[in-house]
Amino acid sequence: MGKKDMTETEKAICHAVQFDIPLIPRPFEKLANEIGVSEGFFIQKVQEFLDKGYIRRFGAALRHRKAGVTANGMGVWKVPEEDRESTGNIMASFKEVTHCYERPSFPGWDYNLFTMIHGKTKEDCFEIAGRISEATGITEYKLLFSSREFKKESMVYF
Amino acid sequence: MDDIDKKILNIIQLNFPVIERPYEAIGKDVGISEDDVIERIGNLKKEGIIRRIGATYDPRKLGFVSSLCAARVPPEDIDRFVEVVNSYPGVTHNYERDHDYNVWFTFIAESMEDIERSIKEVIDKTGITDIRNLPATRFFKIRVNFTM
């Protein structure tokens, strides 16, 4: 499964939509013409990749800072093994939480659930983390804010 | 940004219509013309609010793996360290965070061995030895969109 099983034409279609599609009435027609397939076939393939989950999301990526969502706090939580499944699901249900993963802990680092929390301000993020703590009963946590952004790019797969 | 812009952003973040005339369909949803939608999206791009419109791929479904790495880097070495780390195309996000582990970056590659090998290279090139590879062991949520 995955990129290895795709035809050259399919990879060309994926390549065409991985950056920024043209801002014209028929963007897919132009992209299809450039690689020599019909507009209908191109659209059908993109839909197929969405259905298969190769494309997780098709849409606009925003610069959060400019969109007024300025603070991002990485919440790290120390959750006992037996509670992780239920706690992770509760954390994921918060709309301000965009990512929630379990990751390994290591000596000197006890935190094992990670949540990206987005808010307008740092105070918002603290308030949201407080509500998550109340909802889950997890009291050992930290919020790590980003003080500098060194890189933020989309992966080039094709 | 007015209410119509916000409505457009809410639609096109998650459900950009993959059809022949996407901007016409968005216009119908918010009650403006296709031309107006194109003009408004153009302005949102110029203002830097929209970074791009396109596909976001699922690395796992494409046969790739991803990880989050944490490094402990003395302040005076950060610039050099970041330059080396950012030179890898698989490093897509890299932030300084307020903790002893002060540099956090994401890594996407064709295998976890590739990521481990790259981390070893970074250690060799920078002399920074405390880099932790923390690939997710369970996924509860991945969603990047914001209601405006």
**Antiparallel, parallel or unpaired: β A55-62 and A113-119:** unpaired
Which residues, listed in sequence order, are joined to residue A143 by a DSSP beta bridge?
A75
Instruction: Clarify whether residues A139 and A75 are in a common domain.
Output: yes
Instruction: Clarify whether residues A99 and A43 are in a common domain.
Output: no
Which residue, among B96, B36, B47, B48, has the nearest Cα to B70 in the 3D structure? B96
Closest approach of B15 to chain A, Cα-based (Å):
6
Instruction: Clarify whether residues A41 and A81 are in a common domain.
Output: no
The verdict on a CB contact (< 8 Å) between A101 and B144 is no
Closest approach of A12 to chain B, Cα-based (Å):
13
Is A66 a domain residue? Answer: no
Element of type H or E holding B3: helix B3-14
Instruction: Clarify whether residues A10 and A39 are in a common domain.
Output: yes
Is A124 a domain residue? Answer: yes
Q: How far apart are CA B100 and CA A75, in angstroms?
A: 15
| Positive/negative CA dihedral, A60, A64, A68, A72 | positive
Q: How far apart are CA A90 and CA A136, in angstroms?
A: 7
Q: Which of B9, B97, B143 is facing A98, going by the closest CB pair?
A: B143
Percent of chain B with pLDDT over 70: 97
Q: How far apart are CA A47 and CA A44, in angstroms?
A: 5
Q: Decide: B88 and B126 in contact? Cβ < 8 Å.
A: no
ipTM of the complex: 0.83
Instruction: Clarify whether residues A79 and A130 are in a common domain.
Output: yes
Q: How far apart are CA A108 and CA A121, in angstroms?
A: 29
- Span B79-138, pLDDT tens digits: 999 999 999 999 999 999 999 999 999 999 999 999 999 999 999 999 999 999 999 999
Q: What strands lie across the sheet with A113-119, from one edge to the other?
A: B131-133, B65-71, B103-109, B91-97, A141-152, A71-77, A113-119, A97-102, B138-142
Residue whose pair of structure tokens reads 């050259």 in the numeric block: A8
* DSSP code at position A77: E
CATH code of the domain in which A130 resides: 3.30.70.3460
Q: What band does B146 get if pLDDT is binned at 50, 70 and 90?
A: low
What is the mean pLDDT of the segment spanning B20-28?
98
User: Residue ranges per domain, chain B?
Assistant: 3-46, 65-133
The verdict on a CB contact (< 8 Å) between B52 and A61 is yes
The verdict on a CB contact (< 8 Å) between A88 and B108 is no
The verdict on a CB contact (< 8 Å) between B138 and A89 is no
**Residue A68: per-residue pLDDT:** 64
- What residues of B are in contact with residue A13 (Cβ under 8 Å)? none
Closest approach of A133 to chain B, Cα-based (Å):
17
pLDDT at A66 over 80: no
Q: What band does A118 get if pLDDT is binned at 50, 70 and 90?
A: confident
Total number of domains in chain A = 2
The verdict on a CB contact (< 8 Å) between A62 and B138 is no
Q: How far apart are CA B67 and CA B60, in angstroms?
A: 11
To test the contact with chain B by mutation, choose from A62, A79, A158 the residue with the greatest count of B C-beta atoms within 10 A, namely A62
* Assigned CATH class of B65-133: alpha beta
The verdict on a CB contact (< 8 Å) between A92 and B140 is yes
What token pair was written down for B30? 């918010």
Instruction: Clarify whether residues A77 and A23 are in a common domain.
Output: no
Model confidence, pTM: 0.81
**Residue A67: per-residue pLDDT:** 64
**C-alpha of A78 from chain center:** 23
Query: 10 Å Cβ neighbour count for A58?
Result: 22
Is A157 a domain residue? Answer: no
Q: What band does B148 get if pLDDT is binned at 50, 70 and 90?
A: low
Is A59 a domain residue? Answer: no
A95 is in which domain, residue-wise? 71-145
